[in-house]
Amino acid sequence: MSDYLALREAVIAGKREAVTEIVKGALAAGEDVNLLLDKGMIPAMREIGDRFSRNEAYVPELLIAARAMQSGLALIEPLLAGSGRKDLGTVAIGTVKGDLHDIGKNLVAIMLKGAGYKVIDLGVNCDIAKFEEGVAQGATIVACSSLLTTTMTYMREIADHFRGRGVKVIVGGAPLTQAFADEIGAAGFSEDASGAVKLADTLRAS
């Protein structure tokens, strides 16, 4: 079992090299990548977020913590991507217009890849035209991420735009709820990355 506490503390402190070392060591020891995420890195980002809310951490600290998290994710991604089923369909994923948060979106993308979906990662600050690019490349599911209450409202426009076109718009991100997804007419909502995979599986089967 890995030292999840050390991993959490390294992410919170923004120590990229320490995160890399811990994750490499854990992977070499055969650690389950999901445990590294669920017990180490994701709680670390929650903690730094709580500190930010309490004015105990500021934007630069969030940024270096996010970069440290990304360095760990980069090591985990190939393993998740290599372990899954194939030919399940194509998902275009992006963080919506005005929003630059991409850690959760990246996690959803790697979990979908790991499950065997082809994933077109459109990046951050995606407007409808950007999501259209994903659909033009064959995506039948459009996955939208938002971390800001000011940007989540744009998802309504995305859902309206793709309605009736055989494209399923699914949404997620910390401020979202199932009720919001229902209200804007999205095809589905999930509160975490593994839920997004189950949601895509359900939509594919329907």
Residues that bind ligand B1M (CB under 6 A): 42, 45-46, 48-49, 52-53, 59, 62-63, 66, 98-105, 107-108, 143, 145, 147-149, 170-175, 190, 192-193, 196
Terminal CA-CA length for the chain: 39
Considering the complex, state which of residue 49 and residue 84 has its C-beta at the smaller distance from ligand B1M. 49
Residues 58, 64, 69, 74: is their CA dihedral positive or negative?
Answer: positive
For residue 121, the minimal CB distance to ligand B1M (Å) is 12
Considering the complex, state which of residue 11 and residue 30 has its C-beta at the smaller distance from ligand B1M. 11
Structure tokens at 111: 């979990």
* Single-letter amino acid, residue 155: M
Considering the complex, state which of residue 18 and residue 111 has its C-beta at the smaller distance from ligand B1M. 111
Residue 141: helix, strand or coil by DSSP?
Answer: strand
- Are the beta carbons of 17 and 68 closer than 8 angstroms? no
For residue 146, the minimal CB distance to ligand B1M (Å) is 7
Structure tokens at 23: 């994750």
Considering the complex, state which of residue 30 and residue 202 has its C-beta at the smaller distance from ligand B1M. 202
For residue 159, the minimal CB distance to ligand B1M (Å) is 12
d(CA 174, CA 176) in angstroms, rounded, equals: 6
Q: Provide the CA 35 distance to its chain's centre, in angstroms.
A: 16
For residue 143, the minimal CB distance to ligand B1M (Å) is 4
